[in-house]
Amino acid sequence: MPNNLKSQFEKQGFLVVRNVLDFNFDLKPVLNDMEFIMNRLIDRFVSKNNKSKVFKYDFWKKYTHLSKLKIHEFDQYFNIRPPRDNITKDCEYFASQSVWNLVKNEKILDVIEKIIGPEILANPVQNSRIKQPEKFLGKNTVHDGLSGRTPWHQDAGVLSRQGQKQTDLITCWIPFTNTTIKNGCMISVPGLHKKGLFNHEAGFKGQAQIKDSELLDKLKTTALEANIGDIVLLGKHTVHCSLPNNSNNFRISMDLRYHKAGQPSGRDLLPSFYVRSKNKKNISVTSYKEWLAIWYNKIQKCVPKKYTFKYTIPTFKGTSRDLINLL
């Protein structure tokens, strides 16, 4: 781990930390669990005649085959957070033991501690993204951040108003495939985070995107290319987006988040809990089953409301927080 990790991160607003995770030990179990889900979906949705053939496909071919079957909320089977809207008590999301192991992975927490200190909560703003080559995507998914490109945004833009102001959120972006410009890595503008939160607007399907973000395309950006084992850190004001996957292969990633203890999570209906503390009594969620239970209980409380989170897109009055006035 670099000695000046925190100062580099604070200067640029992002940092690629090399060789933190081990593919076989930390990452492959997640892919195995995704394949287990795919096998269950094959069993349920593929016609009897085709089943044995499709079971023999590799990971990528299985996913491609399933994605064409128009399974309702297909992405949700592989997404580590429950759906935002229209949730039901048995709504789908991907919550395997391997994901839990990653959330509390000591190697990740050692890096996070260098930035926000030793009192760390897991934050519920988290996603997993399986991105097929863009040429295979329908028009409706090219601009959907989970399966296609992610628009220019700052992560504070998807927190509650209170979270936008009070939460020291840190994003830990984890590649499960080597991620390059060609297959759609993230890009960022170094130093721009120092200007604070910009005005956003609702983009495709209501996703928060920076207002007039085409201005950013003219600036000098850094490609956050990362290999398997690396992690990419982003701050809550880091301006970033992801490129299209113009390769012939899949690009898989997960974005986990953490924040400083004592602060709101910015997604108050969903669970946040200590993953590291000097006082061991603070660590109340210690097993996979407890983790499942706290998510389950929170989701049940969301069912009558019909949503798991809402966020207020930051739209400051006037134009003083517009990109054009801050560049």
Ligand X SMILES: O=C(O)CCC(=O)C(=O)O
Positions in the binding site for ligand X (CB under 6 A): 129, 145, 150, 155, 171, 173, 186, 240, 242, 253, 255
Radius of gyration of the chain (CA): 19
Cβ–Cβ under 8 Å, residues 104 and 287: no
Least distance (Å) between residue 127 CB and ligand X? 7
Q: Cα(173)–Cα(29) distance, rounded to whole angstroms?
A: 17
In whole angstroms, the minimum distance from the beta carbon of 71 to ligand X comes to: 22
Q: Compute the least distance from the CB of residue 146 to ligand X, in Å.
A: 8
Q: Given the complex with ligand X, which of 129 and 276 has the nearer CB atom?
A: 129
What does the block give as tokens for 315? 């739209």
Strand partners, 234: 14, 171
Taking the C-alpha atoms of residue 280 and residue 261, their distance in angstroms, rounded to an integer, is: 13
Q: Minimum Å distance from CB 145 to ligand X? A: 6
Shorter beta-carbon distance to ligand X: residue 109 or 232: 232
Considering beta carbons, is residue 131 or 276 the nearer one to ligand X? 131
Angle at 22 between CA 7 and CA 151, to 5 degrees: 60
CA 270 to chain centre: 15
Q: Supply the minimum distance, in Å, between the C-beta of residue 238 and ligand X.
A: 8
Residue with smaller CB distance to ligand X, 171 or 265? 171
Q: Nearer to ligand X by C-beta: 38 or 208?
A: 208
The contacts of residue 17 (CB under 8 Å, 6+ apart) are: 1, 2, 5, 111, 230, 231, 232, 233
